[in-house]
Structure 1
Amino acid sequence: MEIEIATIGGYEEVGRQMTAVRAGDDIVVFDMGLNLSKVLIHDNVETERMHSLDLIDMGAIPDDRIMSDLDGEVKAIVPTHGHLDHIGAISKLAHRYDAPIVASPFTLELVKEEINDEGKFNVQNDLIKMEAGETMSIGERNELEFVNVTHSIIDAINPVLHTPEGAIVYGLDKRMDHTPVIGDPIDMKRFREIGREDNGVLCYIEDCTNANKKGRTPSEAVARSQLRDVMRSLEDYDGGIVATTFSSHIARVTSLVEFAENIGRQPVLLGRSMEKYSGTAERVGAASFPDDLGMYGHRKSVDRAFERIMKEGKENFLPVVTGHQGEPRAMLTRMGRGETPYELDDGDKVIFSARVIPEPTNEGNRYQAEKLLGMQGARIYDDVHVSGHLRQEGHYQMLDALQPQHVIPAHQNMKGFSGYVDLADNEGYEVGRDLHITTNGNIIRLV
């Protein structure tokens, strides 16, 4: 059976992930993502109303025209998890393919919302829910399996395409978390089994976000402990405390809600994406929040919530807001510019339970947001966080578990690949032979 891998997006940057695997006549597409930084540099861009070709020209979504060079039929579109750099282009591209979208329950709900918000294209692909540990047939000779992994969003999986030539393991995105706050630990037992059954692993496609960092990525339990320590240290502060984190990081949001109540403050979730992700998680039963927890996404309802907080006393509340990357239209940035009814005073605390995504647009926005907050007297608590991506020791463990014949680094640029290339080289892989350094728009024939 011929096996080809098209590296369509995410091989020159962090964002707009898309990879297609052809096994014989069957093609499976993994991820269709958005590069948000390419959107943020433009003012007031509404991607929902834009044509896919314009977004491709901007570098915001994958250029999938290379798919015409694959001689087969797309049988499934498989997003690994619900972050926009993995699902943000589905509403723009999926309608081109007569194939179902197959995803874990929480991810599928987020895909539905992306499709419902789309204003340009009519996406009518079938939506199929599949849990970690389940499988489905792809054509007559291939099989798709979901393996549970842990990431900074719930319900993340690594899909595996089993072919007669061996397994193709699509390894984006994960960390090796054995004590997650929500959900099951990473299923390393299953990865080891896949590496040793039948023809083993033909190819492993790996997320290299933290491949230049030594050691291992800590568990979410570590971030939870750090956050508890910070919140407890502020228990006697009688002014305003504001927190921000990734809206999609449900485990972190639940910790913020819990610790706010522990120190006698009423948590309130503010911002459109904060309301969307937490509301969806609660609706599908993936997370449980207090019955009286306020979630407000619409601008007017958010401002009314701020007015109530100011009226009843900032010392009684913990607003959990969007804006951890300094996004220009997010709640925290608006607070820094004095555009909300919430008034920051000297000494008020702002907790960033997130790190800056290492990309120039984000770094510039975050710097500006922190400066604006500081000018109003806010005290910044930075990097109360752990990453959702493997560091070098996690990569070593995955190669040891899977023992793949071929390896393709992904989810970075050439500089970001360097640490992984060194690590793979030390494990006996050779560039140009079985270690394939590639860019967007290439096709690699393995068999």
Structure 2
Amino acid sequence: MEIEIATIGGYEEVGRQMTAVRAGDDVVIFDMGLNLSKVLIHDNVETERMHSLDLIDMGAIPDDRVMSDIEGDVQAIVPTHGHLDHIGAISKLAHRYNAPIVATPFTIELVKQQIQSEEKFGVNNDLVKMEAGETIDIGDSGNVQLEFVNVTHSIIDAINPVVHTPEGAIVYGLDKRMDHTPVLGDPIDMKRFREIGREGAGVLAYIEDCTNAGKKGRTPSESVARRHLQDVMTSVEDYDGGIVATTFSSHIARVKSLVEFAQDIGRQPVLLGRSMEKYSGTAERLGFVDLPSDLGMYGHRKSVDRTFKRIMNEGKGDYLPIVTGHQGEPRAMLTRMGRGETPYELDEGDKVIFSARVIPEPTNEGQRYQSETLLRMQGARIYDDIHVSGHLNSEGHYTMLKALQPKHLIPAHQDMKGFAPYADLAAHEGYDLGRDLHVSNNGNIITLVDE
């Protein structure tokens, strides 16, 4: 059976992920993501109203025109989890393919919301829920199956999909960390990965997120970040002024920890910002997290400002606003607070807790620097980097290679500079660039098995 892999997006940058796997006549697409930094450098860009070709020209979404060179029928579009760099282009591209979107329940719900907010295209693809641990047939041959393996990441309900073919398995390894003690959800299913590495023809190809491949050791568990956050929150328990926290709004486990620790130190938590309301509200509605029944979630700007006024009237010392803006996004709540554009007034000595790291990209780094500078100018004290990554460090990569024993490796989720540490790591394990280690560009097709 012919096996080809098209590296469409996310092979020259962190963002706009998209990969296609062809097994015979059947094609599966993994991810359709947005490169948000390419949008943020423009003022007042509303992607919902833009044409896909304009967004492709901006470098914001994958250029999927290479799919015309793939001889087969797309049978499924499979987003691995709900981050925008994996689902943000579905509303722009999915309608081109007569195929269902297959994902875990939380991811499907986020995809549905993306589609509902789309104003340019009608996206009528079927939405199919599939749980981690399940396997379905792809196409009519009976020779190709799609399996979801549970992984842990900085968002709930993440999976690594596997395409099983007579030539071996193709494992799509974006994005994960090896968390055996997660705060929410089940641990990573390493047992299943080891089984896949030893079943049938083994693993033909492993496509791997190499974001942190150059970092030594292993990525800590989310439970480590929880303890760090608890230590910081407890240390400011006696402060009677304002404390504000920010994190990734999609990081439900972290939001849960912030809510619990706010209550532990006698403050009422409140979630502020559109994405904060969206992700936590969706997770609670689907039963992934149990949040206090009286927890306020406000996304609309007028509702947020009313809440800020109430906090100022009743006393900042009684509340913990948990807000959007950890990357310094121009229109996010924390950025507006730093610019003095909200009723919430920061005073000398007030605490701002960043339970997130800066995504290593120039636009984010510049915006975050500006946001922190504005906050400090108002007297705020910054608590930074209370976080653990959602991506594997080097020891995690060695563990995955030992478990899967893949015949071919394809690094992803980086630019050429970012691929270098993973290529070096793979070389130590006996892989050779150009033979079984394939460093690719966007728009390339890699033929693994020819007729």
- Specify if TM > 0.5: yes
Find the aligned partners of 1:115 and 1:288 in 2 and give their Cα distance: 27
Aligned residue number for residue 174 of structure 1:
176
Alignment of 1:444 with 2:446, yes or no, is yes
Find the aligned partners of 2:211 and 2:439 in 1 and give their Cα distance: 15
Aligned residue number for residue 39 of structure 1:
39
Query: What is the TM-score of this pair, normalised by structure 1?
Result: 1.00
Aligned residue number for residue 424 of structure 2:
422
Aligned residue number for residue 63 of structure 1:
63
Alignment of 1:246 with 2:224, yes or no, is no
Unaligned segments of structure 2, at least 5 residues? none
Q: Secondary structure at the match of 2:311?
A: helix
Find the aligned partners of 1:212 and 1:305 in 2 and give their Cα distance: 43
Pick from 256, 265, 268 the counterpart of residue 267 of structure 2: 265
Aligned residue number for residue 207 of structure 2:
205
- Cα deviation, 1:48-69, whole Å, max 9, x if unaligned, reads 0000000000000000000000
Q: Secondary structure at the match of 1:446?
A: strand
Aligned residue number for residue 196 of structure 1:
198
1:274-293 correspondence runs (5 A): 274-293=276-295
Q: Secondary structure at the match of 1:147?
A: strand
Residue identity matched to 1:404: P
Find the aligned partners of 2:267 and 2:412 in 1 and give their Cα distance: 42
What is the deviation of 1:194? 0.0
What is the deviation of 1:11? 0.2
What is the deviation of 1:24? 0.2
Q: Secondary structure at the match of 1:202?
A: strand
Aligned residue number for residue 301 of structure 1:
303
Find the aligned partners of 1:201 and 1:297 in 2 and give their Cα distance: 45
Find the aligned partners of 1:40 and 1:217 in 2 and give their Cα distance: 29
What is the deviation of 1:10? 0.1
Query: What is the TM-score of this pair, normalised by structure 2?
Result: 0.99
Q: Secondary structure at the match of 2:344?
A: coil
What is the deviation of 1:228? 0.2
What is the deviation of 1:266? 0.1
Find the aligned partners of 1:404 and 1:384 in 2 and give their Cα distance: 35
Find the aligned partners of 2:8 and 2:214 in 1 and give their Cα distance: 23
Aligned residue number for residue 239 of structure 2:
237
Find the aligned partners of 2:94 and 2:282 in 1 and give their Cα distance: 22
Find the aligned partners of 1:199 and 1:280 in 2 and give their Cα distance: 40
Find the aligned partners of 1:125 and 1:283 in 2 and give their Cα distance: 24
Find the aligned partners of 1:255 and 1:132 in 2 and give their Cα distance: 24
Find the aligned partners of 1:427 and 1:417 in 2 and give their Cα distance: 16
Alignment of 1:407 with 2:387, yes or no, is no
With 166-175 and 416-425 compared, the bigger mean Cα shift is at 416-425
Find the aligned partners of 1:55 and 1:422 in 2 and give their Cα distance: 34
1:17-96 correspondence runs (5 A): 17-96=17-96
Find the aligned partners of 1:254 and 1:49 in 2 and give their Cα distance: 33
Identity %: 83
Aligned residue number for residue 121 of structure 2:
121
Find the aligned partners of 1:427 and 1:198 in 2 and give their Cα distance: 22
Find the aligned partners of 2:88 and 2:421 in 1 and give their Cα distance: 28
Aligned residue number for residue 222 of structure 1:
224
Q: Secondary structure at the match of 1:15?
A: coil
Q: Secondary structure at the match of 1:203?
A: strand
Find the aligned partners of 1:129 and 1:353 in 2 and give their Cα distance: 31
What is the deviation of 1:18? 0.0
Aligned residue number for residue 380 of structure 1:
382
Alignment of 1:111 with 2:111, yes or no, is yes
Find the aligned partners of 2:289 and 2:229 in 1 and give their Cα distance: 19
What is the deviation of 1:354? 0.1
Residue identity matched to 1:269: L
Q: Secondary structure at the match of 2:423?
A: helix
- Cα deviation, 1:139-180, whole Å, max 9, x if unaligned, reads 121000000000000000000000010000000000000000
Find the aligned partners of 1:7 and 1:415 in 2 and give their Cα distance: 17
Residue identity matched to 2:183: V
Alignment of 1:15 with 2:19, yes or no, is no
What is the deviation of 1:22? 0.3
Unaligned segments of structure 1, at least 5 residues? none
Residue identity matched to 1:365: Q
- Cα deviation, 1:401-427, whole Å, max 9, x if unaligned, reads 000000000000111111110110000
Aligned residue number for residue 362 of structure 1:
364
Residue identity matched to 1:301: S
Residue identity matched to 1:324: H
What is the deviation of 1:254? 0.2
Residue identity matched to 1:30: F
Find the aligned partners of 1:288 and 1:250 in 2 and give their Cα distance: 11
